[in-house]
């Protein structure tokens, strides 16, 4: 990395924070730092029990890059450009669950305006191509967008409010996130955007952090077969350990348990009336596949970070 790159990311820190928390599952999420580049691998051991006991797995690969582009000399205004990609692959004994692989591709386009030293607004467009890529067409593309207000009360505490809307194959998804970034002391920090993300981090050493995190996902992919869709919903509560390999490159390992998990196939017109973040409102659709149990998840991630001020 060029020496000027850390300063480049740091100047656009508020924009990167917005993208990191809103593009999930396409980027890792954090408000204690800006993440400009991210690579991750996650494995989900899965099990069915209501059609006999069958064990299989999902392998999840994700990558993203986010680049800020200043449009004002004082960095009070800027664009956010980038892209993200993901693949979910299923393997093993899974009768009645015909999904093999699904993919997500998303360009990133945002605009940020600093109104005062304490207040900043950011708008982010959220187009996405989510499908099994067997018969790509316009119906595979969904649209949406969000607006976020960020207020820094003091050097140790900041708050955020995010509102927005996204098309999803399972129905309309409304976004309402309440965020905080709070330095609790020299070693402790709490940050995230509830109800989808939250982290409590403890600095165990100069290069090592330990902590707890919540990671919520609710997305869907169009399937070629009979115009069905596949929904992936999770609420993972986990413990992590991470180490800085250099001043900005970080390797994090996470072990989590899915308090909420939905890996289900539905008919195209069987949708939820509305969803708030990853919480369904109204009568849920009826899955066409056997029930998949909750369980563990293990994740390894490599990212390029700039700490928040």
> Among 263, 245, 257, which residue's Cα sits nearest to residue 299?
257
Neighbouring-strand partners of residue 87: 61, 103
Spatial CA neighbour of 141 closest among 163, 125, 153: 125
Task: Note the pTM of the prediction, 2 decimals.
Answer: 0.85
Residues 6+ apart with CB under 8 A from 93: 54, 55, 56
pLDDT tens digits, one per residue of 122-166: 999 989 999 999 888 888 899 999 999 999 998 889 999 999 999
Cα four-point dihedral sign 135, 133, 272, 176: negative
106 by DSSP, 3-state: which? strand
Whole-angstrom CA distances from 249 to 34, 38, 306 are 12, 10, 9
Instruction: Return the beta strands (E) in the chain as ranges.
Output: 33-48, 54-70, 77-92, 101-114, 119-125, 128-131, 141-142, 144-154, 157-166, 173-183, 188-194, 197-203, 208-222, 229-244, 249-266, 274-276, 279-281, 296-307
Q: What is the mean pLDDT of the chain?
A: 86
* Residue 34, pLDDT score: 73
| pLDDT of 213 above 90 | yes
Query: Tens digits of per-residue pLDDT, 93-125?
Result: 999 998 999 999 999 899 999 999 899 999 999
State the pLDDT confidence band at 224, using cuts at 50, 70 and 90.
Answer: confident
């Amino acid at each position: 990395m060029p020496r000027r790159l850390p300063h480049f990311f740091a100047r656009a820190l508020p924009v990167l924070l917005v993208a990191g928390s809103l593009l999930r599952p396409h980027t890792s999420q954090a408000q204690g730092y800006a993440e400009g580049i991210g690579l991750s691998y996650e494995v989900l051991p899965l099990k069915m029990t209501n059609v006999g006991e069958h064990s299989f797995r999902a392998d999840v690969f994700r990558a993203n890059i986010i680049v800020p582009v200043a449009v004002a000399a004082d960095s009070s205004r800027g664009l956010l450009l980038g892209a993200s990609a993901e693949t979910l692959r299923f393997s093993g004994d899974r009768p009645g669950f015909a999904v093999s692989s699904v993919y997500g591709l998303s360009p990133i386009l945002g605009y940020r305006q600093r109104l005062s030293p304490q207040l900043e607004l950011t708008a982010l467009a959220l187009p996405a191509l989510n499908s099994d890529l067997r018969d790509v067409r316009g119906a595979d593309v969904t649209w949406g967008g969000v607006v976020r207000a960020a207020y820094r009360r003091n050097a140790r505490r900041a708050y955020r409010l995010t509102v927005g809307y996204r098309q999803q194959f399972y129905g309309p998804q409304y976004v309402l996130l309440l965020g905080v970034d709070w330095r609790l002391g020299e070693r402790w920090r709490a940050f995230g955007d509830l109800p989808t993300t939250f982290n409590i981090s403890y600095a165990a050493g100069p290069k090592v952090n330990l902590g707890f995190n919540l990671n919520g996902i609710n997305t869907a992919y169009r399937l070629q077969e009979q115009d069905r869709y596949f929904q992936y919903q999770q609420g993972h509560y986990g413990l992590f350990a991470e180490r800085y390999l250099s001043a900005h490159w970080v390797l994090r390992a996470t072990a989590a348990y899915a308090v909420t998990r939905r890996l289900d196939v539905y008919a195209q017109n069987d949708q939820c009336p509305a969803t708030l973040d990853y919480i369904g409102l109204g009568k849920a659709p009826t899955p066409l596949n056997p029930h998949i149990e909750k369980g563990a998840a293990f994740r390894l991630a490599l990212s390029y970070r700039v700490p928040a001020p």
